[in-house]
A and B are shown apart, each in its own frame.
Chain A
Amino acid sequence: MFGAEETIPWIFENVWLVPALPAASFLVILFFGKRLPYKGAEVGIAAVGAAFVLALIATFTWIGDIDNAEGGDESHSEEAAVLRVDGSDGALPVVLTAEEEGDGHGGGPRGAPIVTDVEWFGIGTDANQVTLGAEDSVATESDGASSGFGISIGTLVDGQSVMLLFVVTLVSLLVHVFSTDYVHGDRRYTHYFAFLSLFTSAMLFMVLSSSTLQLIVGWELVGVCSFALIGHWWEEKPNSDAALKAFLTNRVGDVGLMVGMIILYFAADRSFDIVTINEMAVSGEIPTGTLTIAALCLMAAVMSKSGQFILHTWLPDAMAGPTPVSALIHAATMVVAGVYMIGRLYPVFFEGFAIAGSSLNAMAFIGGLTTVGGGALAFVQRDIKKVLAYSTVSQLGYMVLALGVGAYTAGMFHLFTHAFFKACLFLGAGSVSHACHHSFDMKADMGGLRKHMPITFWTFIIGTGALAGIPPLAGFWSKDEILVGAGVFPGTGGNGTYTIPFIFGMMTAAMTAAYMTRVIWLTFFGDYRGHEKPHESGPRITVPLIILASMAVVVGFLNMPSGFVKALRLPEGWAHRFEDWVEPEGVASFVGEENDFTHAKPSLALAIIATGLGITAGLAVWQYYQRLYRIDPKATEYPNGIASRNAVVGAGHRLLVEKYYLDHLYTGIIAGATKGPVARLANWINQNVLDGIVNTAGRLSVGAGQLVYRFFDQAVVDGAVNASGRTAASSGGILRRIQSGQVREYATLMFGAAAVLAAIFIFAV
């Protein structure tokens, strides 16, 4: 792509500006926001807008470079597999160290990642220096120059991060605009925008991470922003409970993240560098066993962050936050961090789980389970946001499933499309709630809204269609690729034969359409069940909806299969554009020793079957509600439905309503036990055992002291002292009688004594 002499485009070296802008805006809003005319919202929008422009420049520069490389000859194959920029020496970092090991990779290094690093801090001594010092008696520590080897901070630009830059900045910008209306007059309007900015910045920081350490930092920072925004209305306890739950569940996963990253750090010869880790994972320098353990640990992090079973329970609760936040954080961006991380370290997972040539692995299974389990839960929710939340869980499961079966591009593409249509749906739900006086209860306060709010209705319909995979909307293309990627359907190929995940995926295709039809009916059809007259929202709400809905229509075409392109006689270059742009080549191409990374071949039959399944399921639900409507226009469920008649169905229904009893397990049993008996036991031990020992030791020494005091000090030592005192006192008592105060008696004594002395002198001498 670039020769070593060519300069790297300005934007790729300075892409750090993209997260820096919202970070600056966070500080500005935090300190000066309340004094600004629009309470800080304008700063946030300006900063994110500027970041979006930069992200657009980056996106188009990237696309342009890829397309040029495609068009040009293949002579680049001898060139750098990764472009490293040392950004530490000033404002214009142009020092290039291209690592020459790209040869032999099939397709050439188009899309080689560009790493721009500056040293963050140095810690420890270089492993080489230690061995040197051991062999050589010259102490390495004596010269101050050996300040250890550095840990870098920087940006890693490749297709995946550029794609996320675009998504995050765009959705964030739209959410900012949407919020100015939606949370207008909120008690903490300024803080809200401050945290939106901080979140955007942290997310972009994480997306651009060049090292796993930086990834951890960004990962936790988005977590804390999520915490703050879920608990935005912290006066009410359920909200702060939800925030706590989100943070703590994520912390559980973070244990896996930390441990996994630590394992990789040591496995990759003490390097946090993502590209290095990937290189070593591909080349087999890291043993597969180590990779498997690391990948399993990292899966825990994915499960918590990306809401995979069984750590998904925080995500629906997170809907306690403001709706735009749910759209931005808990649908479009933050929750895909786990998926993004899998993609970032895909070689680790690919090799660790032996994805190629297998039929099941932990990732694919968890993804499959999540996609079905989450979808099933969406059926029993009354709250429109909860339905969307479970739908998000289900779709995230889809992405993980895709990555688990080796369909990297499909997973990333689904992430990409999902961000738009799910953000559209969430913002639509927000718009609906805005109209229905801040209620999210579909059964009590909605119904028949299509007449009152047409723009919201139509954008919501488009979003639903995209989610349900109705062609030609975005979700259709990405979902189809995932199903193809499982490699089960005849003629698709792929990286293995993932039968179980494939079945899960097909089930979800049907379920998604069904529960979304239920939402559409309950919200927009039937008769209005609320109290006050609903109204269409203002332009600051509808314009973002329209933009997102149009994105949901068009983005699917970015990755059309080549067969489809041929069939429609479109230019051949239009096929799988997304794959060309995003899929990493160069270093991270998974041309491992034995297990190659291959692409599945799309199948028209499969597309028809999956779509048919979805449409059938949707129509069935439609029929269900149509019949209900004829019975009672305001009804939302049959008075004597099957769940109340059939014991088995009833039990299943209750299982869903109780969310598989997972919340009881976590909140009631695990957290309850830790907070209650276990903590009290620890405290009891502290107070009674440990402190008891201390206090007993204290008491014993006091007792021993008392014994010594009483029997030795008082009796012997003090006895002697007291005896002498008493003697003096008693003798004094006797003698004091002599001192009568009578001068004459003194004189008598004196004379008497003189007489006695005289007698002694006379007779004795």
Chain B
Amino acid sequence: MQEFLDTWGITAMVFLPLVGVALMMAVPQKEESLQRWLALAASIGSAVVGVLMLWNFDYDDSGTMQFAVDHRWIEVITARYAVGIDGMSLPLLALTLLVVPLVLIYSWNHIPAPGNAKAFLILILVLHTGMLGTFVARDLVLFFVFFEVVLLPMYFMIGVWGGEQRLYAAIKFFLYTLFGSALMLVSFLALFRVTGSETFNIVGLAERVAEGDISLTTQVLIFGGMFMGFGIKVPMFPFHTWLPDAHTQAPTQGSVLLAAVLLKLGTYGFIRIAIPILPEAALEWAPWIGLLAVIGIIYGALGCLAQTDMKRLIAFSSVAHMGYVMLGIATLTDFGINAAIFGMVAHGLITGMLFFIAGSVKERYHTLEIKRLGGLLIQAPRMGWILGITTMASLGLPGLAGFWGEFPAILASYDPAPGLSDTLFRVYMVVAAIGTVLAAAYLLWLLQRTAFGTPSEEFVDDPEVHDMVFTEWLAWAPMLVLIVVLGFLPSLIFDVTNTPASMVGDAVNALGR
């Protein structure tokens, strides 16, 4: 078993969904139930391999790549099929492996218009492969390929199964992210060139940058390209405008996957690629990243307060929450990066949950306009409760998962990495702390207007408004349990991430600035 995992484990996990796709292709479209089972089986198969690997993961050695495979791939450009799992990617992999099957379960009776379960589920599985691949890649070319594989299924998901303005949103999402990726690719290539065109391996590049004498300006420029690529995906403040549109128009499953996993590709890129390879440039950029992060926190919150659509509000809240993650990253400290990884997982669970709820609300009320909603706790008490718990988690209540992404990030910005201005980051800290007030304001306001009160006239006797159904329980329960469990046992994640996060922090410290 161990041998199999060491050699084929990651490959099996990443490509099992594609095997499922191949099988589903062979099944006629009208066999919908078979399609569903196949899709679920593929994702669960992938999850089983993943769980086996998590089981056999050496947690005392979470700083090194495990189950690593390094095989020749495209020799002309020295790109290699190099994959592996360490403590930094493990929580995010686990998140992906959990969320995708849940999304598939939710899809059991929630295939959005215009139907065609086969195509829809195939897209989800392709997305699955792309996301898993991004988190295990250790080679920049491989990373880039997987990073881009994610784009297309999401484009179709929004463009075909989306809301009224789906085409605008889909194209905006696609072009915006592609624009960032283009700059990112340029940076990768530039990095390859300036380090002597020898390798695309992340660790190898980091070593060569550390040894070589690449001018700071070059490093800063290369970092800038990566910043655009990852920053747009996160999304950071001025580049976030694709997000509300994409989220609002996407079908529920698309929104959940987008919020739960896709946004993390950007932040993951920062801590996996940009900062470890170019720590010096990161120091130069950090104050600006921090600035954009705190602007995002406040700005996203204010944007939320102005929204009239529930889904759009949740989408805007992502901007604010990812601001905390980015603030944690910008401190370049072990604390901050730990917080960032926790924040990613927590945000994935919580915001994913919120989008699930929004989708189910939309299915029942056929609207998400906050003014027309109300009294969810009366008409669907269990769902109202879950909405309550999730909003509480989202506003960073201790005892639930959201807190451990937020508080340590704020804490870390009191004492950023050496070389960064303490004063500046302390200002960021206070601003970010004020952001928690605004977060509470918009989330509770949302809760008050949707869950409290009495249902509006038009929905009082609506037979379509009912409480939760079985697939919803099945899909939501694991996420809810995790939100609570992580709230009380943050060590579940911190113990895994601490070593790799500290390594990043040490790399910055070692610059001795």
Interface residues, chain A, with chain B CB atoms under 8 Å away? 119-125, 130, 133-134, 139-142, 144-148, 216-218, 220-221, 224, 227, 231, 234-235, 237, 240-241, 244, 247-248, 251-252, 254-255, 258-259, 262-263, 265-266, 671, 674-675, 678-683, 686, 690-691, 694, 698
Q: Mark contacts of B484-497 with chain A using CB atoms, 8 A cut-off: 1 yes-contact digit, 0 otherwise.
A: 00000111001100
How many Å from the CB of B494 to the closest CB on chain A? 4
- Given A124-B333, A141-B506, A690-B238, A679 contacting B495 (CB threshold 8 A): no
Once the chains are docked, how many angstroms separate the CA of A262 from the CA of B303? 28
Interface residues, chain B, with chain A CB atoms under 8 Å away? 58, 60-63, 172, 175-176, 238, 240-242, 244, 299, 302-307, 333-335, 338, 375, 377-378, 392, 397-399, 403, 407-408, 410-411, 414-415, 429-430, 433-434, 436-438, 440-441, 444-445, 448, 451-454, 489-491, 494-495, 498-499, 502-503, 505-506, 509-510, 512
- Write out the residue numbers on chain B whose beta carbons fall within 8 Å of the beta carbon of A221: 397-399
Instruction: Taking A122-B498, A123-B338, A140-B506 as given, write out 17 further A-B residue pairs in contact, using a Cβ cutoff of 8 Å, ordered by the A residue number.
Output: A122-B491, A124-B502, A125-B505, A144-B58, A217-B403, A218-B398, A220-B397, A240-B453, A244-B445, A248-B444, A252-B437, A259-B429, A262-B410, A263-B414, A678-B302, A682-B299, A683-B303
- Output the nearest chain B residue to A130 by Cβ-Cβ distance: B509
- Write out the residue numbers on chain B whose beta carbons fall within 8 Å of the beta carbon of A235: 375, 378, 452-454
**B414, B495, B502 interface centre (most CB from chain A within 10 Å):** B502
- Given A674-B438, A694-B172, A244 contacting B448 (CB threshold 8 A): yes
How many Å from the CB of A155 to the closest CB on chain B? 16
Contact B490 A240, beta carbon cutoff 8 Å? no
Contact A133 B506, beta carbon cutoff 8 Å? yes
- Write out the residue numbers on chain A whose beta carbons fall within 8 Å of the beta carbon of B334: 123-125, 148
**B306, B437, B448, B490 interface centre (most CB from chain A within 10 Å):** B306
Contact partner, B502, options A125, A217, A237, A694, Cβ 8 Å? A125
Once the chains are docked, how many angstroms separate the CA of A220 from the CA of B490? 17
How many Å from the CB of A22 to the closest CB on chain B? 14
6 A-B contact pairs sorted by A residue (CB < 8 Å): A134-B509, A148-B334, A217-B398, A247-B444, A682-B302, A686-B299
Contact partner, A674, options B302, B403, B454, Cβ 8 Å? B302
Once the chains are docked, how many angstroms separate the CA of A159 from the CA of B95? 45
Once the chains are docked, how many angstroms separate the CA of A516 from the CA of B10? 73
Contact A679 B302, beta carbon cutoff 8 Å? yes
Once the chains are docked, how many angstroms separate the CA of A744 from the CA of B141? 70
- Write out the residue numbers on chain B whose beta carbons fall within 8 Å of the beta carbon of A120: 490-491
Contact A265 B60, beta carbon cutoff 8 Å? no
Contact B491 A121, beta carbon cutoff 8 Å? yes
- Given A141-B502, A251-B440, A266 contacting B238 (CB threshold 8 A): no
- Output the nearest chain A residue to B244 by Cβ-Cβ distance: A686
Once the chains are docked, how many angstroms separate the CA of A123 from the CA of B501? 9
How many Å from the CB of A492 to the closest CB on chain B? 40
- Write out the residue numbers on chain B whose beta carbons fall within 8 Å of the beta carbon of A259: 429-430, 433
- Write out the residue numbers on chain A whose beta carbons fall within 8 Å of the beta carbon of B172: 694, 698
Contact A262 B397, beta carbon cutoff 8 Å? no
- Write out the residue numbers on chain A whose beta carbons fall within 8 Å of the beta carbon of B61: 144
- Write out the residue numbers on chain B whose beta carbons fall within 8 Å of the beta carbon of A124: 333-335, 338, 498, 502, 505
**B61, B414, B437, B438 interface centre (most CB from chain A within 10 Å):** B437
Contact A255 B499, beta carbon cutoff 8 Å? no
- Output the nearest chain A residue to B413 by Cβ-Cβ distance: A262
- Write out the residue numbers on chain B whose beta carbons fall within 8 Å of the beta carbon of A234: 377, 448, 451-453
- Write out the residue numbers on chain A whose beta carbons fall within 8 Å of the beta carbon of B433: 255, 258-259
How many Å from the CB of A300 to the closest CB on chain B? 11
Contact partner, B306, options A123, A248, A680, Cβ 8 Å? A680
- Write out the residue numbers on chain B whose beta carbons fall within 8 Å of the beta carbon of A252: 437
Once the chains are docked, how many angstroms separate the CA of A683 from the CA of B307? 8
- Output the nearest chain A residue to B509 by Cβ-Cβ distance: A130
- Write out the residue numbers on chain A whose beta carbons fall within 8 Å of the beta carbon of B491: 119-122
- Write out the residue numbers on chain A whose beta carbons fall within 8 Å of the beta carbon of B306: 679-680, 682-683
Main secondary structure of the interface of A (DSSP, over half): helix
Contact partner, A251, options B303, B338, B437, Cβ 8 Å? B437
Contact A691 B305, beta carbon cutoff 8 Å? no
- Output the nearest chain A residue to B448 by Cβ-Cβ distance: A240
Once the chains are docked, how many angstroms separate the CA of A314 from the CA of B282? 44
How many Å from the CB of B4 to the closest CB on chain A? 24
Once the chains are docked, how many angstroms separate the CA of A217 from the CA of B494? 17
- Write out the residue numbers on chain A whose beta carbons fall within 8 Å of the beta carbon of B304: 679
- Output the nearest chain B residue to A244 by Cβ-Cβ distance: B444
How many Å from the CB of B489 to the closest CB on chain A? 8
How many Å from the CB of A674 to the closest CB on chain B? 6
- Write out the residue numbers on chain A whose beta carbons fall within 8 Å of the beta carbon of B503: 141
- Write out the residue numbers on chain A whose beta carbons fall within 8 Å of the beta carbon of B505: 124-125
How many Å from the CB of B350 to the closest CB on chain A? 15
- Output the nearest chain A residue to B433 by Cβ-Cβ distance: A255
Contact A130 B397, beta carbon cutoff 8 Å? no
- Write out the residue numbers on chain A whose beta carbons fall within 8 Å of the beta carbon of B242: 694
- Output the nearest chain A residue to B171 by Cβ-Cβ distance: A698
Contact A148 B438, beta carbon cutoff 8 Å? no
- Given A130-B509, A234-B453, A263-B414, A683 contacting B302 (CB threshold 8 A): yes
Contact A262 B414, beta carbon cutoff 8 Å? yes
**In the complex, the 10 A-B pairs of residues with the closest C-beta atoms, listed nearest first:** A121-B491, A679-B305, A683-B306, A682-B302, A217-B398, A144-B60, A679-B306, A234-B452, A240-B452, A255-B433
- Write out the residue numbers on chain A whose beta carbons fall within 8 Å of the beta carbon of B408: 123
- Given A141-B63, A240-B448, A248-B437, A266 contacting B338 (CB threshold 8 A): no
Contact A262 B429, beta carbon cutoff 8 Å? yes
Once the chains are docked, how many angstroms separate the CA of A309 from the CA of B165? 50
- Output the nearest chain B residue to A256 by Cβ-Cβ distance: B433
Contact B498 A123, beta carbon cutoff 8 Å? yes
Contact B303 A686, beta carbon cutoff 8 Å? yes
How many Å from the CB of A485 to the closest CB on chain B? 33
- Write out the residue numbers on chain A whose beta carbons fall within 8 Å of the beta carbon of B238: 690
Once the chains are docked, how many angstroms separate the CA of A558 from the CA of B62? 57
Contact B499 A141, beta carbon cutoff 8 Å? yes
How many Å from the CB of B311 to the closest CB on chain A? 15
Once the chains are docked, how many angstroms separate the CA of A686 from the CA of B304? 11
- Given A123-B335, A144-B62, A220-B399, A255 contacting B305 (CB threshold 8 A): no
- Write out the residue numbers on chain B whose beta carbons fall within 8 Å of the beta carbon of A123: 334-335, 338, 408, 494, 498
How many Å from the CB of B473 to the closest CB on chain A? 14
- Given A262-B410, A679-B305, A142 contacting B63 (CB threshold 8 A): yes
- Write out the residue numbers on chain B whose beta carbons fall within 8 Å of the beta carbon of A678: 302, 305
- Output the nearest chain A residue to B492 by Cβ-Cβ distance: A121
Contact B302 A147, beta carbon cutoff 8 Å? no
How many Å from the CB of B242 to the closest CB on chain A? 7
Contact A122 B441, beta carbon cutoff 8 Å? no
Once the chains are docked, how many angstroms separate the CA of A258 from the CA of B407? 8
Once the chains are docked, how many angstroms separate the CA of A686 from the CA of B338? 31
- Write out the residue numbers on chain B whose beta carbons fall within 8 Å of the beta carbon of A686: 241, 244, 299, 303
- Write out the residue numbers on chain A whose beta carbons fall within 8 Å of the beta carbon of B444: 227, 244, 247-248
Contact B506 A674, beta carbon cutoff 8 Å? no
How many Å from the CB of A10 to the closest CB on chain B? 25
- Write out the residue numbers on chain B whose beta carbons fall within 8 Å of the beta carbon of A237: 452-453
Contact A220 B398, beta carbon cutoff 8 Å? yes
Contact A248 B494, beta carbon cutoff 8 Å? no
Once the chains are docked, how many angstroms separate the CA of A746 from the CA of B278? 81
- Write out the residue numbers on chain B whose beta carbons fall within 8 Å of the beta carbon of A675: 305, 441, 445
Once the chains are docked, how many angstroms separate the CA of A263 from the CA of B445? 31
How many Å from the CB of A441 to the closest CB on chain B? 25
**B62, B304, B377, B494 interface centre (most CB from chain A within 10 Å):** B494
Contact partner, B440, options A134, A248, A691, Cβ 8 Å? A248
Once the chains are docked, how many angstroms separate the CA of A674 from the CA of B62? 45
- Output the nearest chain B residue to A214 by Cβ-Cβ distance: B398
- Write out the residue numbers on chain B whose beta carbons fall within 8 Å of the beta carbon of A224: 392, 397
Once the chains are docked, how many angstroms separate the CA of A119 from the CA of B489? 11
Contact A121 B440, beta carbon cutoff 8 Å? no
- Output the nearest chain B residue to A250 by Cβ-Cβ distance: B440
Once the chains are docked, how many angstroms separate the CA of A675 from the CA of B370? 15
**A252, A255, A263, A698 interface centre (most CB from chain B within 10 Å):** A255
